[in-house]
Structure 1
Amino acid sequence: MPQTGVRPHDQRMPPAINIIALTTFAASLSARALDPVLPHVADEFGVSIATAASFSAVFAFTFAIVQPALGAAADLFGKARLMIVCLVLLGLANILGALSTSFPLLFATRILAGIGSGGVFPVALGLTSDLVAPEKRQVAISRTLAGSMTGNLLGASASGVIGDFTGWRGVLAVLGLLAIVASVAVAAGFRGAALKRAPRTNLSTLRHGYRTIFSNPNALCYGAVFVEGCCVLGLFPFLASFLFELGETSLSIAGIVIAGFAVGGLFYTLTVSRFLPLLGVKGMMIAGASLVGVQLAVTALGLGWKVQAISLLFMGWGFYTIHGCLQVFASELSVEARATALSLHSFFFYMGQTVGPIAYGFGIQHVGKSSTLLTAAAVMVALGLACARLLRQTRAADTVSSKPQEKGLT
């Protein structure tokens, strides 16, 4: 990484956190970009909305399955270098998607986009965790998340606006160009030591890291983020169709509603430093999951788009409140193989997002929208209570042996 002059135990936030936030912003622009325009994609290619929603599932599935390999590659060859390459891949995938002439071809480009995005966000969390001590890490990660959530916010809202004027192809073209431009900017920001330094990890260390990770009782956080991804993010491909049922056919409206979730996430980043001392980690997990559960129940009522936008705001606030806690637990499962641990965190999270749209589609078709959403609400409340009871704040087993490596990162 760039020389920052700030060691991991320093209480200040390293300037490099801003560069890391830029990478998550660029990658996240594409994550929810197709959600507001899915009805138009489905119409152009003559497929159902459920079939079009498979874009979200395949993006998430691809993101998930590459995580073990990308996490190991980041630990072996360098986190910054891998992020830059994956940003370029993401940009090219979006541009190719804009040029797609068939549904299968567009489907294939979303697979490539999933791979590209998969090498950015988890590695960004690893870099953040390398720079900041555990007691300050949740606040630091919230700043990294701010870049991601701003990208989600603009990706959803801007894609709706752009889609109204240029169609879904224009959405992918614009986001593809932005990702490539961002890769150039990030390469300049991370030049020097971050791109030249020799790898600090070998295969033996990685094997030891996997043993350390899965022998830690807090590895239960992986199951928790799977449930999160299924219950919360699995809903998103259906939000535009819910609005269509209410007569709101504007893609801009769908984008605004979905963007409410990212706005709520930004509220989390602004308030976490105040609420964490008051509620503690356990209280944050319970409060966050409960808030999500309430908003899922509100969505089941099928209210107007303005109410749904406000509800999505509170849902995002609650989601990131519990999710941020789980990310900190994942970051402390192993220090020597931290990128691997956080990539596994993303693996399970995106596997949840893969299963989520399928589960929601099945539930909506067979038991109805309201019953499906209320079930998801109950699951989220139970998840918050279970996490508060089962997860414990402990240090990784390899903390002591990895201290020299941590110091070398600054």
Structure 2
Amino acid sequence: MPETLPRPLDRIPPAINIIAIANFAASLSARALDPVLPHVAEDFSISIATAASFAAVFAFTFAVIQPALGAAADLFGKVRLMIACLVLLGLANVLGAVATSFPLLFATRILAGIGSGGVFPVALSLTSDLVGPEKRQIAIGRTLAGSMTGNLLGASFSGVIGDFLGWRGVLATLGCLVVAASVAVAAGFRGKAIAHTPKTTLRALRHGYRTIFSNPNALCYAAVFIEGCCVLGLFPYLASFLFDLGETRLSISGIVIAGFAIGGLFYTMTISRFLPRLGVNGMMISGASLVGLQLAATAFGPSWQVQMMCLLLMGWGFYMIHGCLQVFASELSVEARATALSLHSFFFFMGQTVGPIAYGFGIQNAGKATTLLTSAVIIIALGFACARLLRQRPPADAAV
């Protein structure tokens, strides 16, 4: 392994908590601008579709940087990279708060995407290093709790802060919180993983790529691309949907979007019960079906209270299938696990990059209801396809 850490789950609660803190800090910024996009668009005299490009560029940057960051984590150390990226993310948010033009704010979102991109997949890789496959989905669920809490607070608090301080206050506040979190993570890992010298080499990384893509389960990458497109691609338009209904309070937009993260937290609290009963295939089919039903319900423009409940159930269902796909990705390679999980994030966030564009095109040309119903059908079909095609297989380099 690149870093020598204890594997039994009962010996690592402090490390898991530190990883969750890093995920929490990085995830605060992911959906921070979604509830305040109408005001960003007004300040810079741009359309809501153009303002939605902030979400697309964040996701695109997050995605394209993944192969490089995954290799860097395997070569130079996961924790070092994670701390550096947290600092970059915090500074990018602060710079965004003082941006005086649309291009400058756009540039800071690119930096934020790079910073966030070095945290989430590395956190999953560290968790996978620490915990064996038999308990990995539950452990990853605990790590994801930090990420989902960050998404929850990032969306809901940005709406509340936006009503009082505007979108600039949102970015400034989040930037300071992320920088503070980087200090806490550095202190928590001092003398632990940072002190170990990575053993991975460039030659081993090349072998790792071959190992990853020769595994039939690598089709999980296509699955997470579709997930990102159909589910997360919708988020930049939720505030404008509410505006169309006459609900212009940014705090309400934040609450609705935060419902997705609440559903994700519910997943982390129930996975240990549902996984033994449903199995991996049942989790993927049930989760995808639940997501599809909520997309269909949202298509008909219910009240914000109903939409919030739809997002909550959507979040629960989404993580039921997404958590399974993360475990499949973590088992594609042992020696290049950070690379495998970074590629997982690459395809997922490429889906989030294409998603807002596809939704914008569909809404303008086919209408909101048709576009969302089409996404619902696609995501349900995805769940059944994954259950049929993905199988538990040991990685080819498991004995290395």
Shorter-chain TM band: over 0.9
**Following TM superposition, by how much is the alpha carbon of 1:398 offset from its aligned partner in structure 2, in angstroms?**
0.5
Give the partner amino acid of 1:93.
A
Label 1:176 to 1:193 Cα distance change in 2 as closer, same or farther (>3 A).
same
Give the partner amino acid of 2:267.
Y
Q: Tell me if 1:150 matches 2:149.
A: yes
Paired position in structure 2 for 1:284 = 283
Correspondence list, 1:11-410, <5 A: 14-401=13-400
Contact 1:14 1:131 in 2 (8 A): no
What SS is found at the alignment partner of 2:176?
helix
Distance 2:199 2:391 in 1: 29
Distance 2:287 2:141 in 1: 14
**Following TM superposition, by how much is the alpha carbon of 1:141 offset from its aligned partner in structure 2, in angstroms?**
0.2
Distance 1:269 1:343 in 2: 22
What SS is found at the alignment partner of 2:208?
helix
Over residues 98-134 of structure 1, what are the superposed CA-to-partner deviations in whole Å (9 max), with x where a residue is unaligned? 0000000000000000000000000000000000000
**Following TM superposition, by how much is the alpha carbon of 1:7 offset from its aligned partner in structure 2, in angstroms?**
3.5
**Following TM superposition, by how much is the alpha carbon of 1:279 offset from its aligned partner in structure 2, in angstroms?**
0.3
**Following TM superposition, by how much is the alpha carbon of 1:196 offset from its aligned partner in structure 2, in angstroms?**
2.2
TM score, norm. by length of structure 2: 0.98
TM score, norm. by length of structure 1: 0.96
Distance 1:63 1:332 in 2: 22
What SS is found at the alignment partner of 1:148?
helix
| Identity fraction in percent | 79
What SS is found at the alignment partner of 1:15?
helix
Distance 1:146 1:391 in 2: 25
Distance 1:391 1:77 in 2: 32
What SS is found at the alignment partner of 1:349?
helix
Contact 2:290 2:317 in 1 (8 A): yes
Paired position in structure 2 for 1:408 = none
Contact 1:68 1:340 in 2 (8 A): yes
Distance 1:310 1:259 in 2: 10
Over residues 26-52 of structure 1, what are the superposed CA-to-partner deviations in whole Å (9 max), with x where a residue is unaligned? 000000000000000000000000000
Runs of 4+ in structure 1 displaced over 3 angstroms? 9-14
Contact 2:86 2:178 in 1 (8 A): yes
**Following TM superposition, by how much is the alpha carbon of 1:394 offset from its aligned partner in structure 2, in angstroms?**
1.0
**Following TM superposition, by how much is the alpha carbon of 1:11 offset from its aligned partner in structure 2, in angstroms?**
5.9
What SS is found at the alignment partner of 2:30?
coil
Label 1:184 to 1:269 Cα distance change in 2 as closer, same or farther (>3 A).
same
Distance 1:375 1:343 in 2: 29
Q: Which runs of 5+ in 2 are unaligned?
A: none
**Following TM superposition, by how much is the alpha carbon of 1:10 offset from its aligned partner in structure 2, in angstroms?**
5.1
**Following TM superposition, by how much is the alpha carbon of 1:326 offset from its aligned partner in structure 2, in angstroms?**
0.1
Distance 1:334 1:240 in 2: 40
